[in-house]
Amino acid sequence: MGTITHAQTALPPQIPIFPLEPTMLFPGVPRPLHIFEPRYRAMVADALKGDRIIGMVTLKPGYEADYAGRPPIYEIGCAGLITDVEELSGGRFNIVLRGLVKFRVTSEDHSRPYRLARVDPLPEVLTDTQRGEVHARRQRLEALITKGSSSKVEPDTTDEELINMVAQYLPMEQSNRQHLLELENLLLRAQALIDLIESKAGVTVMLRRTWPKPTVR
């Protein structure tokens, strides 16, 4: 398993995009993936030769009819950096993609077997006052996800990591997760998560002790 540790936040104007049914990636959160489809093996191989950036987007309902082609996607996704990679037999990969920044797809380039998109970055900016409000919401969210459990959140977990980790991994309807990703900033996302959990609107509350196993693709 190869690992890189340097930070990289600049988003190129064109990136490969990896479309999946659920929204898969939020800023600051890792996502393990198992890559085996030929077009996505090519995507990862090319990314490893370059800046290691891949964007993740959500497929719109009805994608099954054209899954092998280029079915419609939601235009807002999240770019990630490949931080860990394990090359497997047959050209397959296990990778870890860590969320960097949200983006909006403006157009696509059809020159590769996988999808390339021209994107505009959507950084989430907070004022000093909003950061204080985020921390208060984080404390409420942490209390909700640990209620009735002996599990605890690691003390060095940042507000962004905790809020976006819950947004990424908490079981919920696909439409809810995409809505969370599209919210303008972390403060709105934290409050939306609190509202979802307190209303139990299509979510199951559980704190994960470990990161999920790689998603197969």
The residue ranking higher by pLDDT, 146 or 83, is 83
- Domain with residues 128-199, CATH architecture: Up-down Bundle (1.20)
14-46 pLDDT, tens digit each: 999 999 887 789 999 999 999 999 999 999 999
Higher pLDDT, 3 or 39: 39
Locate CATH 2.30.130.40 in the chain: 2-123
Q: Please give the pLDDT value at position 81.
A: 98
Tokens of 212: 């999920």
> How far is CA 105 from its chain centroid?
15
Q: Is the pLDDT of residue 8 over 50?
A: no
Question: Residue 26: phi, psi to the nearest 5?
Answer: -125, 155
How does pLDDT run across 68-127, given as a tens digit for each residue? 667 889 999 999 999 999 999 989 999 999 999 999 999 999 899 999 999 999 999 999
Q: What is 2-123's CATH number?
A: 2.30.130.40
Helix (H, G, I), strand (E, B) or coil at 130: helix
Query: Which pLDDT value is given to residue 112?
Result: 93
Q: Is the overall model pTM greater than 0.75, yes or no?
A: yes
Average pLDDT, the chain: 87
Backbone torsions φ then ψ of 192, nearest 5 degrees: -65, -40
Numbered ranges of CATH 1.20.58 in the chain: 128-199
The torsion angles phi and psi of 101, rounded to 5 degrees, stand at -155, 150
